Amino acid sequence: MTWIQRCRFSVRWLRRGVSQAREMTLHGLLPTAHTCTGPITALCDMGCYEDAWRFFVDVKNKGCKPNVYTYTALISGLCVSGIFKVAIGLFHRMARDGVLPNTVTYNALINILVENRRIEYASVVFNLMDRNACSPNTVTFNEMIKGYCITGDVEKAMLMLNNMLQAGHSANHVTYNTIIKGYCDSANTASALRILEHMRSNGCEPDEWSYTELICGFCNISKMELAFGLFNEMVHRGLCPNEVTYTALIDGYCKDEKLDAATAMLEHMKRSGCRPNVQTYNVLIHGLTKQNNFSGAEELCKVMIEEEILPNVVTYTAMIDGLCKNGSTSLALEMFNKMIDQGCLPNLLTYSSLIHALGQEGKVEEAENLFAKLERQGLVPDEIAYNKMIEVYIMSGKVEHAFDFLGKMIKAGCQPTMWTYGVLIKGLKNEYLLADQKLAALPDVVPNCSFDYQTADQDAVSVLSAKLAELDPGLSVQLHNALATSLSTSGRWFEANDLLGSMISQGLCPDQEAYNSVLCSLLRARNLDLAMGVFEHMSAQGCEVHLVGYKELICALCQLHRRKEAHITFENMLRRTWNPDDVLQTVLIDGLLRAGHKDLCMEFLHIMETSNCVPSFHMYTILAREASKNR
């Protein structure tokens, strides 16, 4: 074993390796690329990224010419450490130095960027491959598909799948399971089931993870009968459910308040030879505490210990959260102290549950002390912890304190969420209500001077927007986008459209999510004229319309017998690159066919075929099956 190999296994050998490499240059011996790569790889493996960077610069300045493996090792290390821009800069420098990245280099960079949810950077790197005549492989495509799925853009993941198949690569279990999970995470279980059928028709038999992802998806939307049906199908096909599968079902039954079914599933799990883990017990304990069954939760803790599964921070937090939600804050605080005494440090969720409970009891100072304690423990507050503390101030009528705390949250680099905005708007509205009540109590007051909720909403949003602009101008835009999306989702299309128009008139730029949400809301309300105005404005601004938006627009046009416009819209839509299977499923099957426009569905299929947007054979089978149901 050479010192270059040994340096990977020991700090002592690593230091000796780096030292020897530097000594070589002092004696006039020029290090080779192989000599440089060993220490750099080892330093990165051990997390010493700055040392690796300094060593790289040092030997390069002394004449060493790094090769593709040297660059790949350092680029991966920089990405792991979160220094993305430097990593991409080094990637470009690599090409300028005449060292062409290979597929492994690209894959390493894309993988780390995806793991850190930096899909915009990963997309840039992926596009560079084609320009540099380096072909992506199955691993590359799978990483990009994963990146789009974890950021919630399954449409682009499906487009990437289409590109992958057109490039001659076969989708594997990783590909399909990633997309199934992506659809399930966005609550689109119908499309997830379609992918399951698709993978089977392509000769890729679904495995235990394919079913597990689907079961998790159905459990998350409380469709337990369908989840259990998939569980039975999975077993019937000879696949063994794992602890994740069972835990998802137990959690689903608990959320559905079917504790008997959850307990029966735990027993079934044990009989089948699948050993429950701490997460399995935690979800059942949380379910029991939510039902105020603390004795049952304690008994389950004893069972865990008997099975040599030690309760962890999640176990204690589940019990504390249950006690808090049932108004037993004093018992929750006792449990909190007990866990610390047993050497189990609370996490942010533990603190957040207690802070909120104390706020509900009006104990603001105790909540403040607890927040300070979590910071002293070395925990960095997240948006949930900040939101809980802001809510404490709002519940106690201390609106200014809430805004002061919002400032602290933003300065800490923690972005407000829709929950934050909702709590603050509620606090401002309560102030207006209180002022109105005081005014109404005065003698000789005008009788119709009463509290109006819609006016209060608008006033509260205006005040909140002004305060956010003082803290960070970008937050005012974020607030309006979040509100437009929220109003659209809750069916308040008139207010959502009004808010969108107000943003545009103020020079604020609505984001893609806000535009698409308002568009779909207007179309579902069959307010086509307003929807067309939003659609045209989106097109003028270069804002992409989601496939669901096109489905709603085309169906609305057909419903109002404006078929020619529907044709033109569909043809224009196809000028963009889509996954043909996605178009067929979303627009033709879920849209036109379900709305009873079978003839148009077939016409649009012909348009797809003549536009070189040809679906897979499997999708033709699904279309034929669905069309036969609509006879």
Which residues fall within 8 angstroms of residue 435, CB to CB, at 6 or more apart?
none
pLDDT at 80 over 90: no
What pLDDT score was predicted for residue 6? 45
Cβ atoms of 193 and 214 closer than 8 Å: yes
Which residues fall within 8 angstroms of residue 443, CB to CB, at 6 or more apart?
none
What pLDDT score was predicted for residue 9? 45
Whether 314 maps to a domain, the answer reads no
Prediction pTM value: 0.78
pLDDT at 629 over 90: no
What pLDDT score was predicted for residue 12? 54
Which residues fall within 8 angstroms of residue 594, CB to CB, at 6 or more apart?
630
What pLDDT score was predicted for residue 54? 73
Cβ atoms of 567 and 574 closer than 8 Å: no
Which residues fall within 8 angstroms of residue 414, CB to CB, at 6 or more apart?
381, 382, 383, 386
Task: Note the pLDDT tens digit of each residue in 411-448.
Answer: 898 888 888 988 998 888 887 666 555 545 555 544 44
Residue 161 pLDDT grade (very low, low, confident, very high; cuts 50, 70, 90): very high
79 vs 479, more confident: 479
pLDDT at 3 over 60: no
Q: For 491-496, what is the mean pLDDT? A: 89
- For residue 577, count CB atoms less than 10 angstroms from its CB and return exposed for 0-12, middle for 13-18, buried for 19 or more: exposed
Task: Note the pLDDT tens digit of each residue in 41-65.
Answer: 677 667 676 677 677 777 677 667 7
Whether 239 maps to a domain, the answer reads no
- Which tokens sit at 281? 């017990």
Q: For 596-617, what is the mean pLDDT? A: 92
pLDDT at 352 over 50: yes
The fraction of the chain above a pLDDT of 90, given in percent, is: 50
Phi and psi (nearest 5°) for 169? Answer: -95, 145
pLDDT at 354 over 90: yes
- Which tokens sit at 429? 């509205």
Whether 393 maps to a domain, the answer reads no
Secondary structure (DSSP) of 237-275:
TTPPP-HHHHHHHHHHHHHTT-HHHHHHHHHHHHHTT--
What pLDDT score was predicted for residue 372? 94
The fraction of the chain above a pLDDT of 70, given in percent, is: 87
583 vs 437, more confident: 583
DSSP conformational letter for 449: -
Torsion sign over Cα 345, 279, 288, 218: positive
pLDDT at 499 over 80: yes
Q: Which amino acid is located at 149 in the chain?
A: C
| CA distance to 1, 118, 160, 178, per residue, from 184 (Å) | 49, 21, 18, 10
What pLDDT score was predicted for residue 130? 85
Whether 87 maps to a domain, the answer reads no
Whether 626 maps to a domain, the answer reads yes
Q: For 331-347, what is the mean pLDDT? A: 91
pLDDT at 465 over 90: no
What pLDDT score was predicted for residue 16? 58
Whether 66 maps to a domain, the answer reads no
The range of the structural domain enclosing residue 568 comes to: 546-631
Average pLDDT, the chain: 85
pLDDT at 508 over 70: yes
Whether 425 maps to a domain, the answer reads no
pLDDT at 453 over 50: no
Count how many domains the chain has. Answer: 1
Whether 615 maps to a domain, the answer reads yes
Low-confidence winner among 76-85, 182-191, 371-380, 421-430 (lowest mean pLDDT): 76-85
Residue 26 pLDDT grade (very low, low, confident, very high; cuts 50, 70, 90): low
CA-angle at 521, arms to 493 and 195, nearest 5°: 160
pLDDT at 239 over 70: yes
